[in-house]
Amino acid sequence: MKRIADIIRGLPVKEVRGDASVFIKDIHYDSRKAGQEDLFVAIRGFQQDGHRFLPAAHQQGCRAFMVEEFAPLPDSVQVQVPDTRQALPYLAKNFFDHVTDEMKIVGVTGTNGKTTTAYLLHGILSAAGWNPGLISTVETVLGEERRPSQRTTPESLDLYRLFARMHKLGCKSAVMEVSSHALDLHRTDGIHFTAAVFTNLGRDHLDFHGDMERYFAAKKKLFDRLEQNDRAVLNADDPYSARIMADCRGDIITYSLNDPSATVWLKEYRTLKEGMSATLALPSGEIFFSTALVGKFNLYNLLAAAATAVAL
């Protein structure tokens, strides 16, 4: 249970109507789930406006609301903010006790390779004793728990709920795919990423972003938010990496299939009957491995995971 006054601390609150000292037990952005002792956040979506469902949530017993416009709801507490979608991740972060600040979180973004790179890195961190969680397009892994995923990057409230569960299960780190949609829709706002990984940029999702520049700008947000001593792991063979590098405050680690000046590069590889083998050149020396994965694109995924491990 948390007091409303405590979980809205630091948010751009315009006005509070009602008693903000009351306690709530949970937060929802789906009015069908909001009941007594819950707070309902009315989000304006692409198809529905959550403000339309304020009376329904109120009828179900909900008496606490975060809104952009006040509604005639008797005996309620209403917190008005300029943008409920932008406020939601920070509300969730406060509600779940800032657990992400106690974990090392790695975000993987790019058009292709996010899922494979995330799985590879999850495997490396597991072997290194980092006890990582995983949030991917395929599934979410929380310790020994595995759940099928509904989308690449969950809504911010769901994301913080997952991190709270990971933290409770003793996860010290997490690897997650970060989609361009998620970055544009503020789903990852408030998360401190220890490292951010860029795989590549191709012509995809232009129905949502409109053109390549806006698509790239969405991806770049992940790296623009990095702080000093955070790590940006970039594909040196993709021309967009140079533009990310120009504005990034974090430490730059690069990987490449053929550039010896990259932090991690592919010195040699061979195709095998069942997969391939490769030698990677790292700052600390060379490592040799074999894998059941095949193809040039998987070489990039392997390099990205190895470079991130070096970065960490």
Which pLDDT tens digits describe the chain residue by residue (312 residues)?
Answer: 999 999 999 999 999 999 999 999 999 999 999 999 999 999 998 788 999 999 999 999 999 999 999 999 999 999 999 999 999 999 999 999 999 999 999 999 999 999 999 999 999 999 999 999 999 999 999 988 899 988 888 999 999 999 999 999 999 999 999 999 899 999 999 999 999 999 999 866 555 556 788 889 999 999 999 999 999 999 999 999 999 999 999 999 999 999 999 999 999 999 998 999 999 999 999 999 999 999 999 999 999 999 999 999
Dist. CA 107–CA 203, nearest whole Å: 21
309: left (phi over 0), alpha (psi -120 to 50) or beta: alpha
Q: Which residue has the tokens 């310790």?
A: 143
110: left (phi over 0), alpha (psi -120 to 50) or beta: left
pTM beyond 0.85: yes
Q: Inter-axis angle of helices 114-127 and 296-311, to 10 degrees?
A: 40
Question: Rounded to 5 degrees, what are φ and ψ at 74?
Answer: -60, 150
CA–CA–CA angle 212, 215, 219 (5° rounding): 135
Q: Which residue has the tokens 């009957």?
A: 273
Cα 95 to Cα 2, 23, 52, 185: the distances in Å are: 7, 11, 25, 20
Amino acid of residue 35:
G
* C-alpha of 87 from chain center: 16
Amino acid of residue 107:
G
CA–CA–CA angle 147, 99, 229 (5° rounding): 110
Dist. CA 80–CA 18, nearest whole Å: 11
